[in-house]
Chain A
Amino acid sequence: SQTIHQWPATLVQPVGSPLSLECTVEGTSNPNLYWYRQAAGRGLQLLFYSVGIGQISSEVPQNLSASRPQDRQFILSSKKLLLSDSGFYLCAWSGYGFTNTEAFFGQGTRLTVV
C-alpha cells in the first residue's frame, strides 16, 4: 500500500532563517506531488505541484520554492522566512497522469515563524 511521510511535524523558526520541509511517498511510481498551505479559517491553498522529476509548477507567487530531486521526494524551501510564512503545510500525492484524481495527504508540518 502507498504511504506518505512528511517531516518535521512541528517547527519553530526565526524570521530570516532558511526552511526545508521534506515529503516522501512509498509504494507508487511517478506520483503527482503537491504542497498545500492551510491557514486558520481558510481553505487549503495549493502552493506547488509536480508531475515529474524537476517539473515544478507554482500556483502562488511567494517567498517559497519547491524541488523534486527524486521521483518520490518533494521538498519545500525558503531562503529567508517571513512572519507571514507561518501556517500548516501539507504534502499530498495523487496517481500518475491526468485520470487519477484522488489526492492523499501527509500529516502536515506546523510552522511557526517568530
Chain B
Amino acid sequence: EDQVTQSPEALRLQEGESSSLNCSYTVSGLRGLFWYRQDPGKGPEFLFTLYSAGEEKEKERLKATLTKKESFLHITAPKPEDSATYLCAVLGAGSYQLTFGKGTKLSVIP
C-alpha cells in the first residue's frame, strides 16, 4: 500500500525566512510525485511533478527535489501570499489513484 507522510503538520515563518517542507513516501514503482498548494475552501492547485530521484523543479520562490524515499519543497524568502496548505501525493505503478499526505499548513508572518 502506498503511503505518504508530510512534516511538519504546521509551520510558521517570518517573511523572508527560508525553510523546507518534507514528504516521505513508500510506493510500488513511482510513476510520479506531485506537489499541490491548497488555499482555504479551494481545490488543490497543481505545482510540480517529479518523476525520478535527483530531479528538481522550480517556480518562483518554490523548489521541489526528489530522492528515492522523500521529497522536499524548499521555500526561499517566503512572502505572506505563500501562506497555504501544501500537499504531496504519489502515483504508483499500475494505479490511477493518487495517494495524498495530510499536508503542511504554512503561515508566513509579515
Interface residues of A (CB under 8 A from B): 6, 32, 34, 41-44, 46, 49, 51, 57, 59, 90, 92, 98, 101-108, 110
Contacts and interface: CB of A to CB of B under 8 A. Distances in A.
Given A32-B96, A49-B97, A108-B41, A101 B102 contact: no
Given A44-B87, A90-B43, A59 B102 contact: no
B102 A103 contact: no
B34 A43 contact: no
Contacts of B42: 107-108
B100 to A, nearest CB: 4
Interface size grouping (class) on chain B: 20 to 34
Contact of A51 (B49, B96, B97, B98): B96
Chain A at the B interface: SS class: strand
Contact of B97 (A42, A59, A90): A59
A105 B43 CA distance: 6
A110 B40 CA distance: 11
Contacts of B49: 101-102
A99 B96 CA distance: 10
Given A101-B31, A101-B32, A102-B49, A46 B43 contact: no
Contact of A106 (B4, B43, B46, B101): B43
A49 B96 contact: yes
A13 to B, nearest CB: 18
B91 interface: yes
Interface in B55-69: none
